[in-house]
């Protein structure tokens, strides 16, 4: 069985049982719903206790449970073709340079981690149509200046 086959099996069970992602993530618990859904869709891994909880919920074999604990090959072809995912791509392509400039002005030369990272999705009621509110928080990781000497800073924190 390939990982994509397990994803399809999980989606088939979800459909057959009439489960929502909220039900599934509440049953498995332990981490952000985004990580659980991402793992069930093949883009993340579940730690062993959560893989066991998912296997029990979905009635998986031991091999399928182990697959949920394996580090997956992450990502999708670019640019994405799904309209909703493409809009995220578009937001980064259009706003990315401004985000980069503002982050570097505030923090210095570095990146925002997508590994040491939190994200939350909420519905924000609005009389003109509900809005999707996404909050992201990633650790700032300054670039390291290798081979630095004579008072040159080792990391790219904001210079004062």
Mean pLDDT in each 10-residue stretch from start to end of the chain (160 residues)? 96 98 97 95 96 98 97 89 92 93 92 91 97 95 81 77
Active site residue 64: no
Q: Where in the chain is the domain with CATH 1.10.260.40?
A: 3-69
Task: Give 83-142's CATH code, choosing from 3.40.1080.10, 3.30.1160.10, 3.40.50.720, 3.30.70.100.
Answer: 3.30.1160.10
Short-list 112, 136, 108, CA closest to 122 = 136
Active site residue 90: yes
Residue among 113, 131, 137, 154 flagged as catalytic: 113
Q: What's the CA gap between 25 and 54, in Å, rounded?
A: 9
Residue among 87, 120, 137, 154 flagged as catalytic: 87
Global pTM exceeds 0.85:
no
Q: Where in the chain is the domain with CATH 3.30.1160.10?
A: 83-142
Residue among 70, 90, 120, 154 flagged as catalytic: 90
Q: What's the CA gap between 51 and 42, in Å, rounded?
A: 12
Report domain 3-69's class: mainly alpha
Report pLDDT for 23. 98
Q: In 3-state terms, what secondary structure has residue 16?
A: helix
β-pairing, 131-142 vs 110-124, is: antiparallel
Q: What's the CA gap between 15 and 40, in Å, rounded?
A: 14
User: Taking the CB of residue 54, how many other CB atoms lie within 10 A of it?
Assistant: 22
Report pLDDT for 94. 93
């Amino acid at each position: 069985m390939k990982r994509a086959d397990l994803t399809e099996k999980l989606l088939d069970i979800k459909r057959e049982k009439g489960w929502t992602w909220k039900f599934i993530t509440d049953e498995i618990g332990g981490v952000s719903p985004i990580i659980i859904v991402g793992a069930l869709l093949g883009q993340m891994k579940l730690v062993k206790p959560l893989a066991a909880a998912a296997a029990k919920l979905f009635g998986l074999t031991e091999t399928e449970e182990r697959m949920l604990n394996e580090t997956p090959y992450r990502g999708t072809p670019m640019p994405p073709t799904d309209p909703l995912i493409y809009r995220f791509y578009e937001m980064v392509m259009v706003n990315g340079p401004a985000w980069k400039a503002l982050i570097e002005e505030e923090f210095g030369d570095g990146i925002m981690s997508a590994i040491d990272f939190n994200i939350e999705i909420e519905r924000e009621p609005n009389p003109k149509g509900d809005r999707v509110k996404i909050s992201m928080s990633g650790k700032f990781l300054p670039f390291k200046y290798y081979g630095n000497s004579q008072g040159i800073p080792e990391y790219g924190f904001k210079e004062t």
